[in-house]
Each structure stands twice: as structure tokens, then as C-alpha cells.
């Protein structure tokens, strides 16, 4: 039997296979509200045959958006707009749905990537950003305000409130975004966190906010629904966040009841030097997997079915996640199942499209 198409549990959530659609920002919301684009985008990904679909990074407050067009889940309007989209998606797909909750911190207030992604000043539609310390991501960015304890508490409450909204929406899973240089990663890394209070300095202090937010989300999100965390295993910068610290964080999260660790890398510093290539982040997932008992998801230039199968067969990770590759080929799991001799879910309306050489590919 194919490892890739074997079942797995994330906490108490059962998945039919080990392929996840990773969160992918679409920069297509209106004041945080999901739009017709999200209905189209999520609709066709929900028919992909993957075991899990995680919605894009969703801001827990308006100031936590990366761009003005980011998806959000911070008020009734954003909740209702997403509810309308999810209602349509669920009508035709039973795929488990998760959401990634996030705050961009100092990487907020930027333009959409196809407009250059530069920092937006207030007169350009941007806003004052905040961070652990008053250290900008780029020298050309506005200087973020160092978060006070009171503002940290407000942001924590934002994560709590968004988690409650996610449960009301019937979402099956929450992923806490502590990667890619966004706010929680900014607290974790000594490159961006120069605080001298309980949230800065030692590794224990730098991990504190991520653990506090995880703990609070776990408290308000139903026990039968998993909460996982996405991390950047390394900053790819000397003296920054690294694999050893990531292992320590993963072990601490495991003790708090974390359902899985989703291992990516980078995003904190423009000085990063990333050695990009097939499976380039898999060794980080393996290092975490060797240190914890909970499932570990690998992501990053995993593009071929045989490649994904080998990652699991060699016990380098427990699941694989695809992002850009899934956009390029939204039926990737179908094609992977055909190559690996497995079966996959597909909507009845598409059953007649099976090529003759792979008859029996679709579950009925």
C-alpha cells in the first residue's frame, strides 16, 4: 500500500491520505472578507483529492494583515463572508478544512506581490506596524512600534476570538502561524526580538508568546479538533532562529497538546541565504520528527509523487504539504494516486473522466 495514500490522524481528526494543501495567501479579500475568488479557489482545491485543505493565513486583527487584501477572521463581517464561501464548498466536498491564524507584525502593511510587495506608508493605504522590538524588516520600511504588554494581550485575545469564530464556522482544524517572519516568528528569533522583559532574551522567554497563544487556542477550540503549529525551522542567517531551537519549541508544543508541527523555513530576514532545491526543507522536518512523537508535515519543492512517497517511506516526515505545486496542478493527488496504484476521492460529476489505463482510480 502507498504510504502517501495511507490514513493518518491529527489528534482526533482522521485523514484519508497524507497530502495536505498548504495555506496560500491569495491577497484577494475585501477588508478581510472572503470574496468570489475564494469560492473559486477553495472550491477547486477542495476537489483535489487531498486529505486536508488548510485555508490561507487569516489575520486576527486588521493591523495583522500582510496586505490590505488579506483574508481575516476578526469580526462578524469577516466571519459571515467566510461562512458563505464555506457553505458552497462543503455542498460538494467532504474534505477536512482547517484555517491558519496569523498576525504579520512588522511584515504587515505591504502591497500585493504582483504590485511589487513594497511597504505601504499610511498615505498609500498602509498603517503603523508593530513588532516585538522597534526593528524594521527592511531599512526602507516604516519602523514598527515595540509592542507593550497591553497590546500583546490584545493580540492574544484576537487569536482567541478568531479561534472561537473558526469553530463556529465548523472548521475542523486550526494551524497557528509561527513561521515566515510573521509576528510569532519575530518573537522567536533573536534577530528581531531584542526585548528585555519576559518575552525576550532567553529561549524560554522568546518562546513564551507562541506557547501562550497555543495554550489559549487549545483552551477554547473543541478538544476533538486539532490545533497545530507551522514553524520556520531556520532563519538561514547566522545567529538567528535555528533547527536546535525549533526542536525545543516543538517539544514544548507537544507537551501542551499540539497535534502536529508543519515545518517550513525562512522569511524573517532579507539577509537569508536559502539553498533551494528538491526536498530542501525535508531535513528540518526530519530533525523535528526525531524529537517528537506527534505527526510532522514536510513542505517545500516536493513536486513528484515518487518523491513524496519516498519522504514518507523513509520516515523523514508523516505528511507532505503542497502549495505552489497544487496551484499549478490542482489534481495533483489524482495523478499521484494513479502513479502509486492508489485510490482517491473525486466528485461524482467527474467520475467519467478516468483514463482507461487507470480505471478504478476513483473511490465510489
Q: Which residues are catalytic?
A: 182
Residue 311: count of CB within 10 angstroms of its CB: 23
Distances (CA, A) of 97 to 20, 51, 55, 173: 10, 9, 7, 7
Contact of 44 with 89, CB cutoff 8 Å? no
Question: Grid coordinates standing for 56?
Answer: 490561507
End-to-end Cα separation, the chain, in angstroms: 19
Which residues in 149-167 are b (16+ Cβ under 10 Å) and which e? Answer: eeebeebbebbbbbbebbe
Residue 278: count of CB within 10 angstroms of its CB: 11
d(CA 127, CA 109): 6
What residues form DSSP beta bridges with 97? 53
Residue for grid cell 516585538: 132
Amino acid at each position: 500500500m502507498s504510504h502517501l495514500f495511507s490514513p493518518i490522524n491529527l489528534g482526533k481528526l482522521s485523514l484519508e491520505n497524507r497530502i495536505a494543501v498548504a495555506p496560500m495567501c491569495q491577497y484577494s479579500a475585501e477588508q478581510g472578507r472572503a470574496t468570489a475568488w475564494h469560492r473559486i479557489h477553495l472550491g477547486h482545491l477542495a476537489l483535489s483529492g487531498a486529505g486536508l485543505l488548510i485555508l490561507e493565513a487569516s489575520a486576527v486583527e486588521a493591523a495583522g494583515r500582510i496586505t490590505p487584501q488579506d483574508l481575516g477572521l476578526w469580526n462578524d463581517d469577516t466571519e459571515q463572508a467566510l461562512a458563505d464561501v464555506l457553505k458552497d464548498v462543503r455542498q460538494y466536498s467532504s474534505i477536512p478544512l482547517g484555517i491558519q491564524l496569523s498576525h504579520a507584525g512588522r511584515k504587515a502593511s505591504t502591497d500585493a506581490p504582483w504590485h511589487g510587495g513594497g511597504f505601504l506608508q499610511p498615505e498609500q493605504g498602509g498603517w503603523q506596524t508593530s513588532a516585538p522590538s522597534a526593528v524594521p524588516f527592511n531599512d526602507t520600511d516604516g519602523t514598527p512600534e515595540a509592542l507593550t504588554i497591553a497590546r500583546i494581550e490584545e493580540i492574544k485575545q484576537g487569536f482567541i476570538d478568531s479561534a472561537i469564530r473558526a469553530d463556529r464556522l465548523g472548521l475542523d482544524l486550526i494551524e497557528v502561524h509561527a513561521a515566515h517572519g510573521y509576528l510569532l516568528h519575530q518573537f522567536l528569533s533573536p534577530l528581531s526580538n531584542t526585548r528585555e522583559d519576559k518575552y525576550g532574551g532567553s529561549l524560554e522567554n522568546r518562546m513564551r508568546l507562541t506557547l501562550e497563544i497555543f495554550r489559549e487556542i487549545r483552551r477554547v477550540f473543541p478538544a476533538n479538533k486539532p490545533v497545530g503549529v507551522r514553524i520556520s525551522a531556520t532563519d538561514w542567517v547566522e545567529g538567528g532562529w535555528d533547527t536546535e531551537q525549533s526542536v525545543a519549541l516543538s517539544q514544548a508544543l507537544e507537551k501542551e497538546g499540539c497535534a502536529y508541527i508543519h515545518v517550513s523555513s525562512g522569511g524573517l530576514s532579507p539577509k537569508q541565504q536559502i539553498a533551494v532545491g528538491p526536498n530542501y526543507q525535508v531535513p528540518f522536518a526530519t530533525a523535528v520528527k526525531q524529537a517528537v512523537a506527534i505527526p510532522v508535515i514536510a513542505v517545500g519543492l516536493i513536486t513528484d509523487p515518487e518523491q513524496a512517497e519516498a519522504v514518507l517511506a523513509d520516515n523523514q516526515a508523516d505528511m507532505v504539504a503542497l502549495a505552489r505545486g497544487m496551484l499549478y496542478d490542482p489534481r495533483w493527488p489524482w495523478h499521484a494516486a494513479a502513479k502509486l496504484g492508489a485510490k482517491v476521492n473525486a466528485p461524482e460529476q467527474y467520475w467519467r473522466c478516468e483514463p482507461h489505463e487507470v480505471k478504478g482510480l476513483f473511490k465510489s
